[in-house]
C-alpha cells in the first residue's frame, strides 16, 4: 500500500500580490521554497484562512528574501493581498517510508521571513 502524507507546509504566509492576468501558479520566495523542500512546479494545495477557500496549483520560484507570495491567474479570485494562507505539499510513500517520514514545516513573521522550522506540529491542550 502507498500513503499520501504531508511533506511540506508554509504556515500562515501572507499574500503580497494577487495577479489575475498572470499565468497561473503561486510565486513563492525561493528561501521559503528551499526551507520547506518544495520544488518549482510542484503541486501545492492552498488554504485561505480568511475566507476558507481551498485550491490546488503549482509553485514557482520568487525572488530570494523578498517575502513574495503572489497568487496568480484564476486563483487570484480566491485570495487577496493581506490574506493569511497555508501552503501544503504532499508526497506518496510506501508503508516503510511513511513510518519514518517527517514533514518540513516553516513558520514566518508578518513579512514572510522565516522565524522557525519544525518537523512536527505542536499538540495543543484542550480548552
User: Looking at the domain assignment, is residue 66 inside a domain?
Assistant: yes
The answer to the question of residue 112 being in a domain is yes
pLDDT at position 127 is 65
- Residue 11 falls within a domain, yes or no? yes
Q: Is residue 75 part of a domain?
A: yes
Instruction: Provide the phi-psi class of 56: left if phi over 0, else alpha when psi is between -120 and 50, else beta.
Output: beta
Residue 10 lies in a domain: yes
Q: Supply the residues annotated as catalytic.
A: 25, 58
Residue 124 lies in a domain: no
Predicted pLDDT of residue 122: 80
pLDDT at residue number 113: 98
- Give the mean pLDDT of the chain: 95
| Cell output for 100 | 519514518
CATH of the domain at 111: 2.40.40.20
What's the whole-model pTM score? 0.94
Please give the residue range of the domain that contains residue 103.
2-118
Whether 127 is in a domain gets the answer no
Question: Bigger pLDDT: 65 or 23?
Answer: 65
What gap in Å lies between CA 14 and CA 1, rounded to an integer? 37
Interacting residues of 103 by C-beta distance below 8 A, sequence separation 6+: 5, 6, 7, 8, 9, 119, 120
Q: Domain count of the chain? A: 1
- 9 in a domain, yes or no? yes
Amino acid at each position: 500500500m502507498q500513503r499520501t502524507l504531508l511533506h511540506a507546509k508554509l504556515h500562515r504566509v501572507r499574500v503580497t500580490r494577487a495577479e489575475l492576468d498572470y499565468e497561473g501558479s503561486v510565486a513563492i520566495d525561493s528561501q521559503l521554497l528551499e526551507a520547506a523542500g518544495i520544488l518549482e512546479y510542484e503541486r501545492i494545495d492552498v488554504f485561505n484562512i480568511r475566507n476558507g477557500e481551498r485550491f490546488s496549483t503549482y509553485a514557482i520560484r520568487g525572488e530570494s528574501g523578498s517575502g513574495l507570495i503572489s497568487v496568480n491567474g484564476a486563483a487570484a479570485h480566491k485570495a487577496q493581498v493581506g490574506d493569511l494562507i497555508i501552503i501544503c505539499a504532499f508526497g506518496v510513500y510506501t508503508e516503510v517510508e511513511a513510518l519514518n517520514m517527517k514533514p518540513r514545516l516553516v513558520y514566518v513573521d508578518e513579512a514572510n521571513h522565516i522565524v522557525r522550522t519544525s518537523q512536527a506540529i505542536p499538540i495543543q491542550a484542550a480548552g
